[in-house]
């Protein structure tokens, strides 16, 4: 084959490649998906003051949801590791952190069956925390979620994942669901007392702060526990722009059965309608951006005889601080340099 023939053949091949590329470029791309992507699983973080009744509320709520045919995973994220105690009749659940440490020391891998347990359709686990004085609780939460991700957390098929978080602290690991958009919505548990509403307001402030940074988490509402009818919690919810999802009364039967680790949120019993309504509200309430209150506005929800009124802030002086002994001027230790 002559040089001229080779050149002609190469030219034709080049033209064919060009034509093929043009034909490929002329093909219209697939249409852009316009339907919003909706996660099948609702991840809901529940916050509240320690001892306010989050674990009681969640144990009964998760049990009712499971009885209604929902697949529910309850994760305790409180270092006290008491979220699942009522669900399991007072039995302690091995925590993820302690199990992980034990397995690691033995050179073994953690499996789902080591840390997740079931009762009547509810799946439950505890993240746990370090021993007192031996570590950071927030860091323990982060470590626990890292392990959950290794176990396939994002592939699990649940309708609801309920996270029980200590609300007294909303920083570090305890603020993880809000800061990293790990949940779709937050629920606060409070009562008609200043301290629990102070915590609820802090949680609302955290949600509002991360919304300012582009976050998507909102507050779905408040559960009022041990409601005595005085109305401060409802007034707070109205002022913060969040709905009241349920008001659980301060009833002696509820107190006694909770103390005996009994589930009261069972279909057909006295308190079933209360938790059936709460289950519906938790599922359907949209996440909203709250309006956190100022400290004065929060105090203003309570009567004057409860928090005091008319108190004037009287500034202290150095003489006050020294008990009136600061009479003589003491030489200064400040060094002055000669400009020359």
The pairing of strands 117-119 and 185-190 is unpaired
Cα separation, 302 vs 316, in Å, equals: 28
Answer with the residue of higher pLDDT: 19 or 211: 211
Q: How confident is the model at residue 8 (pLDDT cuts 50, 70, 90)?
A: low
pLDDT for res 328: 57
* Catalytic residue check, 296: no
The model's pLDDT over 190-241, given as tens digits with 9 standing for 90+, comes to 999 999 999 999 999 999 999 999 999 999 999 999 999 999 999 999 999 9
Q: What mean pLDDT do residues 246-258 have?
A: 94
Answer with the residue of higher pLDDT: 312 or 340: 312
The whole-angstrom distance between residue 105's C-alpha and the CA centroid of its chain comes to 31
Q: Which residues of 200-230 are buried (b: 16+ CB within 10 A; e: fewer)?
A: bbbbbbbbbebbeeebebbbbbbbbbbbeee
With residue 221 as reference, give the H or E element that holds it: strand 218-227
* Catalytic residue check, 327: no
Angle subtended by helix axes 232-240 and 194-212, to nearest 10: 10
pLDDT for res 340: 61
Task: Using CA atoms of 198, 160, 282, 45 in order, give the dihedral in degrees to the nearest 10.
Answer: 10
| pTM listed for this prediction | 0.78
Q: What mean pLDDT do residues 86-103 have?
A: 88
pLDDT for res 93: 87
The model's pLDDT over 253-279, given as tens digits with 9 standing for 90+, comes to 999 999 999 999 999 999 999 999 999
Q: What mean pLDDT do residues 299-303 have?
A: 85
pLDDT for res 176: 79
The pairing of strands 122-126 and 117-119 is antiparallel
pLDDT for res 157: 92
* Catalytic residue check, 150: no
pLDDT for res 180: 83
Catalytic residue among 49, 185, 226, 257: 49
Residue 101 has pLDDT above 70, yes or no: yes
Residue 236, SS3 per DSSP? helix
Catalytic residue among 70, 80, 114, 193: 80
- List Cα–Cα distances, 238 to 134, 217, 301, 332, in angstroms: 41, 19, 11, 56
Cα separation, 3 vs 5, in Å, equals: 5
Looking at mean pLDDT, say which of 11-15, 60-64, 147-151 comes out highest: 60-64
The DSSP annotation for 101-149 comes to HHHHHTT----HHHH-EEETTEEEEE---PPTTSS-HHHHHHHHHHHHH
Q: What mean pLDDT do residues 297-301 have?
A: 90
Cα separation, 188 vs 237, in Å, equals: 10
In three state form, how does the secondary structure of 94-105 look? CEHHHHHHHHHH
Residue 174 has pLDDT above 50, yes or no: yes
pLDDT for res 130: 61
> Is residue 92 classed exposed, middle or buried when 0-12, 13-18 and 19+ CB atoms within 10 A define those classes?
exposed
- List Cα–Cα distances, 300 to 25, 145, 227, 247, 294, in angstroms: 67, 39, 19, 22, 10
Q: What mean pLDDT do residues 321-334 have?
A: 67
pLDDT for res 218: 96
Cα separation, 274 vs 78, in Å, equals: 25
Catalytic residue among 78, 82, 164, 168: 168
* Catalytic residue check, 70: no
Catalytic residue among 54, 185, 226, 257: 54
Picking from 93, 78, 100, 81, the residue whose alpha carbon sits closest to that of residue 149 is: 100
pLDDT for res 30: 46
pLDDT for res 232: 95
* % residues pLDDT > 70 (the chain): 79
Answer with the residue of higher pLDDT: 218 or 136: 218
Q: Can you list the domains of the chain with their CATH numbers?
A: 46-297 (3.40.50.300)
């Amino acid at each position: 084959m002559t040089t001229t023939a080779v050149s002609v053949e190469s030219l034709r091949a080049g033209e064919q490649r060009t034509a093929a590329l043009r034909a490929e470029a002329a093909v219209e791309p697939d249409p852009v998906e316009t339907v919003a992507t909706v996660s099948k699983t609702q991840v809901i973080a529940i916050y509240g003051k320690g001892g306010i009744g989050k674990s009681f509320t969640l144990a009964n709520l998760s049990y009712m949801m499971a009885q209604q045919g929902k697949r529910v995973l309850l994760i305790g994220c409180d270092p006290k590791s008491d979220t699942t105690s009522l669900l399991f009749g007072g039995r302690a659940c091995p925590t993820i952190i302690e199990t992980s440490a034990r397995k690691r020391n033995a050179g073994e891998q953690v499996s789902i069956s080591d840390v997740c347990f079931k009762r009547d359709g509810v799946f439950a686990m505890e993240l746990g925390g370090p021993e007192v004085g031996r570590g950071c609780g927030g860091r323990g939460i982060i470590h626990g979620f890292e392990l959950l991700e290794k176990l396939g957390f994002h592939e699990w098929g649940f309708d609801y994942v309920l996270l029980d978080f200590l609300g007294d602290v909303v920083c570090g690991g305890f603020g993880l669901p809000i800061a990293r958009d790990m949940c779709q919505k937050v629920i606060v548990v409070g009562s008609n007392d200043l301290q629990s509403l102070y915590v609820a307001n802090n949680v609302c402030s955290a949600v509002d702060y991360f919304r300012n940074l582009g976050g998507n988490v909102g507050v779905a509402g408040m559960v009022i526990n041990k409601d005595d009818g005085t109305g401060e919690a409802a007034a707070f919810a109205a002022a913060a722009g969040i709905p009241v999802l349920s008001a659980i009364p301060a009833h002696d039967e509820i107190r006694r059965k909770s103390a005996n680790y009994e589930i009261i949120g069972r279909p057909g019993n006295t308190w079933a309608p209360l938790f059936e309504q709460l289950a519906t509200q938790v599922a359907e309430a949209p996440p909203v951006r709250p309006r956190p209150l100022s400290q004065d506005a929060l105090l203003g929800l309570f009567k004057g005889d409860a928090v005091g009124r008319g108190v004037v802030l009287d500034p202290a002086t150095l003489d006050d601080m020294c008990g009136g002994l600061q009479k003589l001027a003491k030489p200064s230790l400040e060094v002055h340099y000669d400009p020359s």
